[in-house]
Structure formats: C-alpha cells, structure tokens
Structure 1
Amino acid sequence: MVNIDKFIDELGLNEHLTLDDIPDIDLYMDQVIQLFEKKYAKTKRDPKDKILTKTMINNYAKGRLFFPIKNKKYSKEHLLLISFIYQLKGTITINDIKVVLEKLNDKVLNENFTLDDLYKAHTNLIFNQEERFKKDFKGKVKEVTEATNQLADSDSEYLKQLLLILSLSHMSTLYQRAAEKLIDEFQQEEEEN
C-alpha cells in the first residue's frame, strides 16, 4: 500500500444516500434499484456486483423488514428503511435486521413518525465515523508497519498486508459482536414487555 490517502479514497466512504437524493414522489421498484445502483456504484468490490435487486427487495418485503408498499410504489420512508437495511446487511443477519427495524416500522405506520430527522442524525454520525475511520486506519497501518519491521523476513510487504487484514477483520468482528449484543438486549426488552 503505497498511498494510504488514495487507498482510503477508493473505498468510496463518502457514498451515501442522502435525503436530498430522494425525490418527493413515490418510486417504482426499478426506479428504487436505479437510485441505489447509481448512488453506491463506487462502493462495489466488483463492477458486476448488484447493490440492490428485485429479489432482494421482494425478500425484504416478505420478511416484513419494512411496512407494505401501496400501488407498487415505494415512499420516501420505504427508501430510507431500505437504506438502513442495505447498511445493516453487511454485518448482521436478516432476522436481526427485522428485530432492529420492527419497532421503527410500527412507529412509521401507527404513530405517523417521520424518518427524516432520524435519517439526518444517522448520516451525521456516519460522516463523523468516516473521519474517525480515516485516522484509525492510518494508525493501524503505522502499528502494522512497526510490527512487520520487527519480523525477520524478506517478504515483509505481504506480511504487512496480512497483519493489516487480520487486524481490520478482528476490529470488524468486535463491532459486530457489540451490535449483536445490543440486538439481543433489544429482543430481551421486547419479550419482557
């Protein structure tokens, strides 16, 4: 990894669906897919990958991850919920996502809760987290470089990348475990009520 800033830039960290990206009209499924594909294109690992498909959306609907659509059209609230699902599905199971979003769906349907403020708060948090990630990542690279320099091996670039991958994967696992524990507490609270 020669240029850390270039590497971080290529991750597409700044690619997010914002409230401004969402039109004020309801969209058909193909339009929803097109919106997500366009917005998250830079985040694909492989250009052939799909961000969102009809099958995914239908599975989310069947799994009741979001409230039912009307007249085959998706409202702004649906798009925001699908965005949450898209972000969560990389780390937690579909069943866990259902647990996390069940109460939110209920609030939208039965309490006329608007997702705009929650979504703004979420996007503000992720922008801050991305800045923190950039600093943390550079720190990890430095740590790994120092650890690799202590190894007596001629293939230190490979070992450096291996240690970095192991370290990042471990951090990801720690955050995933924390999220799963919060979900378990969510379920426990719901069962007690």
Structure 2
Amino acid sequence: MEHINQVIEQLNLEASLTLEEIPQIDLYMDQVIQLFENKFTESKRNEDDKVLTKTMINNYAKGKLIFPIQNKKYSKEHLILMSLIYQLKGALSINDIKATLTGMNQKIIKEEIDLDSFYTSYLNLTRQNVEDFKVDLEDSVKDVNEEITGDKKGDSPYLKQVLMISSLVHMSNLYRRVAEKLVDEITVEKEEKRHK
C-alpha cells in the first residue's frame, strides 16, 4: 500500500472540463465527443472504455437530462451539463441525475442562472475535494496499517489491500447515500410545489 501515491497520480483526479476549454461556439455531436475523450481519456479505467458516446448523448436528450438542442448543435450550457452528468453518473442513477438537474435545465432555459458562476464554484469545490481526498486517503492507509499490524497473523500486503478496498467502498457508499437523500429532498420539494 506504499504505492498509493502512484495510484492517485494514475487516476488523473484533477481532470475537469474548464470554462476556458469549452468553445464559445456551438458544437456538433462528434466534436462534443472528441472534446470529452481528449479531456477525460486518462481518467478511464480501461483503454476500451468510452467517456461519451452518441448513444449516451441521445439518451441524455431523450431522458431530458439536458434541455433541447438547436440545429443538431450543443451549446456551452449543454457541455457544462454533460460535464456535470459525467461526474454524477459515477454515483447516481440516471433518474437521480434527472431529478437533480431538472431545475437547472429550467433555470438555463428561463435565463435565471449564471451558469458560468455556478460551474466555477463547482470546479473550485472539486479541486478542494481532491486535496481533501489525498489527505484523507493518507490517513486511511495509516489506519489500515495500524489495524493489520495489530493482528500478526493477518499482516500481509494482500489483506491490507482488501481492508483498504473495503474501507474505501464503505466511505463511498456513505457519501452516495447522503447524496441520494439530498436528491430525494429535491424530488419531495418538487412534488409539494406541484400539489399547492
């Protein structure tokens, strides 16, 4: 587990689509896919994995995760939403993502949101999250080493790795469950407004 810093470097955790990288002109689907592939290719687990496909984009449109496109072109706002979807789908279901972004889509259509400002805040938080994660991960490695070292029969690199994996998945599940509860609150609020 001493190689955890190498693992972190390989993950390309800092990868994000910045506002500066998003063209000011509308893009065709193939251009959108190429932009995402270029930006997030190092984040893929396997070389054959796709970051974004035509089917995914069409499903986002059909599922109303993004507001309707014009003339087969995707705007800067669409790209920001797709960037958010790309991150959200790592932990949330498509239905949860739709519930989360429905209000955002409505605000974009009605021009009731400064999306650039919102997205900048999101990017600032993700950068801070990566820094916090690195510190937390170092602490987790220490905790696992202390747990395993105390049990001389189980002091093996394999068991340390299994314990670390189990701990990381548990933490991931805790964060995901809180996120799901927050999505449920959005859904409940929307239902209450509809019935008033």
C-alpha distance in structure 1 between counterparts of 2:54 and 2:155, whole Å: 46
- What SS does structure 1 have at the residue aligned with 2:68? coil
TM-score normalised by structure 1 residue count? 0.97
Runs of 4+ in 1 over 4 A off after TM superposition: none
C-alpha distance in structure 2 between counterparts of 1:82 and 1:39, whole Å: 13
Over the residues paired in the alignment, what is the CA RMSD in angstroms? 1.1
TM-score normalised by structure 2 residue count? 0.95
- Unaligned runs of 5+ residues in structure 2 are none
- What SS does structure 1 have at the residue aligned with 2:162? helix
TM alignment of 1:117-136, pairs within 5 A: 117-136=117-136
Paired residue for 1:74?
A: 74
- What SS does structure 2 have at the residue aligned with 1:10? helix
- What SS does structure 1 have at the residue aligned with 2:47? coil
Q: How many correspondences in the alignment?
A: 193
Deviations 1:123-181 (A, max 9, x none): 00000010000000000001001111122336610000000000000000000000000
- Unaligned runs of 5+ residues in structure 1 are none
TM alignment of 1:127-146, pairs within 5 A: 127-146=127-146
Aligned residues of 2:29 and 2:54 also touching (Cα < 8 A): yes
Q: Percent identity?
A: 56
Paired residue for 2:13?
A: 13
Greater displacement, 170-179 / 1-10: 1-10
Paired residue for 1:150?
A: 150
Structure 1 pair 64–159 and aligned structure 2 pair: CA distance change class (3 A) = same
Aligned residues of 2:100 and 2:186 also touching (Cα < 8 A): yes
The letter for the 2-side match of 1:189 is: E
C-alpha distance in structure 1 between counterparts of 2:188 and 2:124, whole Å: 29
- What SS does structure 1 have at the residue aligned with 2:11? coil
In the TM superposition, what is the alpha-carbon distance from 1:67 to its structure 2 partner?
0.4
Aligned residues of 1:145 and 1:160 also touching (Cα < 8 A): yes
Paired residue for 1:40?
A: 40
